[in-house]
Chain A
């Protein structure tokens, strides 16, 4: 068997194991990358509950608070955040292309689309910073101010973490031969990025659409 075939088959095994939770683990005892990916998915599922808790809190506040919006605030501007949303969600497709290029052993293609993802993520953060600066209410202005900044801020931290991970993975792509055998770090970063995007879609609907 040539190495590429081995990689392809082991990748297929990893994904099939991740999908079903009753595989015979015995054959893959030392499949450390598979373990790592499984563990990372478990971590993301757990992490998502923090967001779900914040979302639940937001819904409770929004439906029960006596004075929801701080005085003088009529609502949130939705146009710029919508553009931001489009950029962030599209970056999920871009990072997918990057992964395909890595899979096809095209490192420069990978780097190009990877860097494009990072640029789109950074643009999102920039747009968020601009929006924060333009708002006339702060973190301590009632439960609305608190939950708005908590949700967007906590999500923003995740975007920032994603970009930092992407920077790391980009740097590691310059180590010769580093990504020849498939790369857990790239796959995990990409999955994390999709996770951050999905969270944002829910967040956008809750905060901006449902006003």
Chain B
């Protein structure tokens, strides 16, 4: 009795977006999580290209040892904006977009818990994107203090203007933080309270587990960064002395507040990528995810450990010896749950009937790059080694293998894998494989040379360098331009296939999951009748049904 009546009110309460084929819905304040998800993905990909242009300008400068292409202040602004754009405007929003699209579908909900909050959180992204870009127009240009904005560098205000690049940077990051917190509250509430009947915690796809784990990090980490940013802003604008050593302040405190969030933020980024791997490997290897429950729980273990490792970024910041030891140990500990996942994926692929489609290739490539990044990560966790290569290109190489090798490749895998679901069209496999080849080659050409450079002692964030470093820098720059070009077949593929690709049916990959039981693209409220889940995910090779009411999940489009 209650079910019927409540269902009716819920449908009235949520404004339906335009008809599924009306492209204008993407430019509206739509509260449909699928529209918002695509809004996030497209917006963030645009900023990925912007950040990529910055990266190519940086690599263009570094192709010769002299600082000849750019003024040094412009170079500083470039690497600051590159890092800021790539993190706050590409990786975070793109993963939130993917999660937005998938989580309600995967747990069998009609939408997120707070649809309007969801839309509001998205529309902040273009707002702070514009604010950040506007810093090119203010006197003195954008912030030059790097994406971490360490004082006392970030406290300098050479032009003396109240509205300067650093202030706009803090404003943009603050709005980004508010948006992320709104999103995190929404995800956690949705996952805890909106699961379909029968969708117990251990029937949730691993991707949902990783989103849950990642969003918890946002909730406990971001406020620390907010606190640090508020104090930094007061130092710059009001003249307080929290972080100014000349006035008795403590710049290292900012580093603590910054990294208390910004290291766990790495897990906010990588955890959903782990989820993507966990979804994609079983589909294209036709085997259940190996050790599903352990993989699921290890996400939460990573969340817990991520909160006690941040000082490994500060081994060279006058950190006492006992602290270095403690954080070295905790940092190495985090490779245990991560290693569990890696072995689970390898065991999933092992002996499977592999189908090397584009998403599978990107997932395999991303996994390989991640393992490489993991090895250098363990090296960096060791305090003596870290102090040796601190602030060199070794660190830059390490985290680009994580962020580009694993995260960007994982995102590409997700783009291709769920493209038929999101658009109802198939992408071009040939263009996809070309894209993969260019990306894999470009990534390694670009970021592998950074390791020898760092070991030889080339510092990061410099516009000029000793000529002995020239060879590897030229190689890296060629790789960067290759990566720039690699986006072209992708863009062509996505736009071209969306417009005139072959029609996709509801489950082109023969994948198991709630999202594959409804039409492509799904109707505005996803499920006509809520699914009744009766099995664990990843039932490959078992031929048991996932839901009890598969034929009642949807009605034909026309009758809506």
User: Using a CB–CB distance below 8 Å, which chain A residues touch chain B?
Assistant: 17, 21-26, 28-32, 34-36, 38-39, 42-43, 45-50, 52-54, 57, 60-61, 64-67, 139-140, 142-143, 145-147, 150, 154
Contact = CB atoms under 8 A, between A and B. Distances in A.
A142 B248 contact: yes
A143 B231 contact: no
Contacts of A66: 248
A21 B228 CA distance: 31
A38 B192 CA distance: 9
A44 B427 CA distance: 44
A139 B235 CA distance: 10
Interface of B: 6-7, 9-10, 13, 109, 113-114, 181, 184-186, 188-189, 192-201, 219-224, 226-228, 230-231, 234, 238-242, 247-250, 253, 257, 260, 530
A53 B9 CA distance: 42
A26 B197 CA distance: 5
Contacts of A64: 250
Given A26-B198, A65-B248, 18 more contacts: A24-B197, A25-B195, A29-B109, A30-B9, A35-B113, A39-B185, A43-B185, A46-B184, A46-B220, A46-B222, A49-B227, A57-B231, A67-B248, A142-B247, A145-B240, A146-B241, A150-B230, A154-B230
A31 B7 CA distance: 11
Contacts of B6: 29-30
A46 B222 CA distance: 8
A143 B234 contact: no
A34 B530 CA distance: 19
Nearest to A54: B227
Nearest to A35: B113
Given A31-B193, A139-B238, A43 B181 contact: yes
A140 B240 contact: yes
Contacts of A28: 193
Contacts of A142: 241, 247-248
Contact of A26 (B196, B234, B250): B196
Given A43-B181, A53-B257, A147 B239 contact: no
B114 A29 contact: no
Contacts of A21: 192
A35 B193 contact: yes
Contacts of B227: 49-50, 53-54, 57
The 10 closest A-B pairs by CB, nearest first: A53-B227, A49-B223, A26-B197, A146-B240, A50-B223, A46-B219, A30-B6, A39-B189, A25-B193, A35-B113
B184 A34 contact: no
B10 A30 contact: yes
Nearest to A39: B189
30 contacts: A21-B192, A23-B193, A24-B197, A25-B193, A26-B196, A28-B193, A29-B109, A31-B193, A35-B114, A38-B189, A38-B193, A39-B113, A42-B184, A42-B185, A43-B185, A45-B219, A46-B220, A46-B222, A48-B223, A49-B220, A52-B224, A60-B253, A65-B248, A67-B248, A140-B238, A142-B241, A143-B248, A145-B240, A146-B231, A154-B230
Contacts of B240: 139-140, 145-146, 150
B253 A57 contact: yes
B220 A39 contact: no
Contacts of A150: 230-231, 234, 240, 242
Contacts of B234: 139, 146, 150
Question: Interface of chain B, helix or strand or loop or mixed?
Answer: helix
Nearest to B220: A49
B257 A57 contact: yes
Contacts of A147: 242
B228 A53 contact: yes
B242 A143 contact: yes
Nearest to B9: A30
Nearest to B112: A35
Contacts of A35: 113-114, 189, 193-194
Given A30-B6, A60-B250, A53 B223 contact: yes
Contact of B242 (A25, A29, A48, A57): A57
A37 B231 CA distance: 31
A143 B243 CA distance: 9
A49 B189 contact: no
A42 to B, nearest CB: 5
B195 A26 contact: yes
Q: Which of A21, A49, A65 has the most CB of B within 10 A?
A: A49
Contacts of B199: 26
Contacts of B10: 30
B309 to A, nearest CB: 17
Contacts of A38: 189, 192-193
Nearest to B188: A42
Contacts of A139: 234, 238, 240
A26 B221 CA distance: 30
A143 B197 contact: no
Given A25-B192, A46-B220, A53-B257, A140 B185 contact: no
Q: Which of A17, A32, A66 has the most CB of B within 10 A?
A: A32
A34 B201 CA distance: 19
B522 to A, nearest CB: 17
A55 B188 CA distance: 26
A140 B239 CA distance: 6
A29 B239 contact: no
Given A39-B189, A49-B223, A66-B248, A29 B231 contact: no
A163 to B, nearest CB: 22
A21 B193 CA distance: 9
A199 to B, nearest CB: 13
B194 A29 contact: yes
A22 B193 CA distance: 9
Contact of A46 (B185, B231, B248): B185
A135 B237 CA distance: 22
Contacts of A140: 238-241
A173 B63 CA distance: 69
Nearest to A141: B241
